[in-house]
Amino acid sequence: MLYISTRDNHPAVQSSEAITLGMAGDGGLFVPREMPGLANPLTIDSNYQETARRVLAPFLSDFSAAELGSAIDNAYNAETFNAPGIVELVPLDPHRSVLELWHGPTAAFKDVALQIMPQFMQIAKDKTNNKTHTVILVATSGDTGKAALEGFRDKPGISIVVFYPAGGVSEIQKLQMVTTGGGNTHVVAVEGNFDDCQSGVKAIFSDPALARELGVHNMALSSANSINWGRLCPQIVYYVRAYGLAVQRNLVKAGAPVDFCVPTGNFGNILAGYYARRMGLPIRRLICASNRNRILADFFASGVYDCNREFYRTSSPSMDILISSNLERFLFEMSGRDGKRIQGWFSELSKSGRYAIDPQTLASMKEFIAAGWAGEERVPGVIRAEFERSGYVFDTHTAVAAAALDDLGDRKVHTIIDSTASPYKFSGDVLPALTGEHPDNEWLSIERLHAAGKIPIHRAVLGLRERPVRHTRQCAVANMSGVLMEICAKISHHPGAKALGH
């Protein structure tokens, strides 16, 4: 399988190169040149790992079966995931079920991709005979940071630097990141919001002088954000697996269509659902759910993507995003793979913060995506109502999706709601919704949630309070590249660094 750029600005490359590069040159994201079909879309595999092999093999055709197999086994096992099935499908009623994607080490769905992506990257580096020290740069709205830190921790030949918005993540998210161990992990608080972090990281990636300087030290930057294909393709797997589980549980007849409802931020998760649909999985509609930062819902309604608006901090911080990077991949497909038009829209976006797509592209998008949003005032009510109805406890992100489903669902087909975080990760908001209690710290909230919700405490938050803080760096948005260079200088002077490249 070869990969091409959404902006027509890069020669086609193998998957291993797309994964080591992360981004295609000056803007542009790698996408598969053709979309493979699922050999038999209705096969029900005996376990998640088998589905992973079946779905991933055609995308990573330059990986041997043994390489892919070892990546899958290292990523998805009883030590990394606290659920025998890796992901779990929980029916709520005959019309709706929840796909729990948060049984990994950090309690958010990003673990599913970030446990395997570092394995891909190591294999890809070996394949491309890449002896440089890879510095993974991550901008995080909260969950990616910790999941990437855990995935890349102590991987030889790789260091990881995470930028998060100071004050823009939950207390638990912050503690998870700043207490991370490992000799190759670096965490920096940025005085700005997530979009500032993401734009800062993008600017670093497109700074040729910085790349040259790192090159002198035998270092190169790469990304673990969902702009990296190696991060995106593992997410297709759980759509295929969820469908198989739904059939197995008699929620859906084999071959009958389903809807997926996806709490959306950077558009990575829902894009994987789109790819699964393109591969032949019987998905009728994808419901794209936004929180109060409803730029995507407005875009689907009007065809105008407009960042010139207020940015809100919400109780679903991992969806507090104004620039959804992976939308570019989706628009590339919806525009008939017109790289020139994509380039036009996205240069318009960087100039004026806004672009308008043509009516035909908009119509193609709306054929199978329904977009909705839920404001902050609805989230607690949805959490409480579901708990009273079925006993199930949503986290705040999943609750936003459930609210959008209440608005847009038509009950003609079974809907699978992607649940992206354990409620324990956001207990400070989930508990008041359930019981009306407002303890003054997260730890008490966790204990009280355990008592009220009667679900086991996720191991990602157990013991977090006792762990020492190891990362205290903070910087202004304008100084992100400066801080990065400081960190890289330390890495290159580290006694072990010489060995890294050889």
Strand, helix or coil for residue 13: strand
> Which C-beta is closer to ligand PLP: that of 121 or that of 169?
169
Cα separation, 293 vs 319, whole angstroms: 8
Q: How far is the CB of 105 from ligand PLP (least distance, A)?
A: 14
Query: Applying CB under 6 A, which residues contact ligand PLP?
Result: 108-110, 143, 226, 263-269, 318-319, 397, 420-421
Smallest separation, CB 138 to ligand PLP (Å): 12
In 140-271, beta strands by DSSP E: 158-165, 185-191, 219-223, 258-263
* Residue where the block lists tokens 């890796």: 86
Question: Please, what is the minimum distance in Å from the beta carbon of residue 101 to ligand PLP?
Answer: 9
Min dist. Cβ of residue 8 to ligand PLP (A): 25
Q: Could you tell me which residues are beta bridge partners of residue 371? A: 288
Catalytic residues: 110
User: Residue 5 pairs with which residues in a beta bridge?
Assistant: 30
Q: Are 289 and 404 in contact (CB under 8 A)?
A: yes
CA-CA distance, 105 to 115, in Å (whole number)? 9
In the complex with ligand PLP, the residue whose CB is nearer, 38 or 101, is 101
Tell which residue, 45, 34, 32, has the closest CA to residue 4. Answer: 32
Using the minimum distance from each CB to ligand PLP, give the nearer residue, 19 or 421: 421
109 versus 163: smaller Cβ distance to ligand PLP: 109
Read off the amino acid at residue 370: A
Query: What's phi and psi for 382, nearest 5 deg?
Result: -65, -40
* Residue among 180 and 318 whose Cβ is closer to ligand PLP: 318
Smallest separation, CB 66 to ligand PLP (Å): 30
Residue 343 tokens read as 């380039």
- Of the candidates 225, 394, 234, 409, which has an alpha carbon nearest to the alpha carbon of residue 316? 394
Nearer to ligand PLP, 123 or 283 (CB): 283
Residue 286's SS3 state is: strand
Cβ 266 to ligand PLP shortest distance, Å: 3
Backbone torsions φ then ψ of 288, nearest 5 degrees? -95, 110
Q: What is the CA radius of gyration of the chain?
A: 21
> How near is the Cβ of 459 to ligand PLP at its closest, in Å?
17
Q: What are the backbone dihedrals phi and psi of residue 380, each rounded to the nearest 5 degrees, phi first?
A: -60, -40
Nearer to ligand PLP, 151 or 268 (CB): 268
Gap between the terminal Cα atoms of the chain: 30
Cβ(262)–Cβ(286) below 8 Å: yes
From residue 63, alpha-carbon distances to 54, 59, 111, 136, 315 in Å are 13, 9, 22, 21, 40
Query: In 3D, which of 431, 460, 386 has the Cα closest to residue 109?
Result: 460
Half-sphere exposure of 409 (CA within 13 A, CB side): 20
- CA distance linking residue 174 with residue 184, whole number of Å: 18
Provide the edge-to-edge strand list for the sheet that holds 30-32. Answer: 13-14, 2-5, 30-32
Residue number, 101 or 491, with CB nearest to ligand PLP: 101
| CB nearer ligand PLP, residue 132 or residue 266 | 266
- Give the residue among 385, 382, 357, 318 at the shortest CA–CA distance from 102: 318
The least CB distance from residue 291 to ligand PLP, in Å, is 9
**Closest distance to ligand PLP from the beta carbon of 316 (Å):** 7
- The DSSP H or E segment spanning 475 is strand 473-476
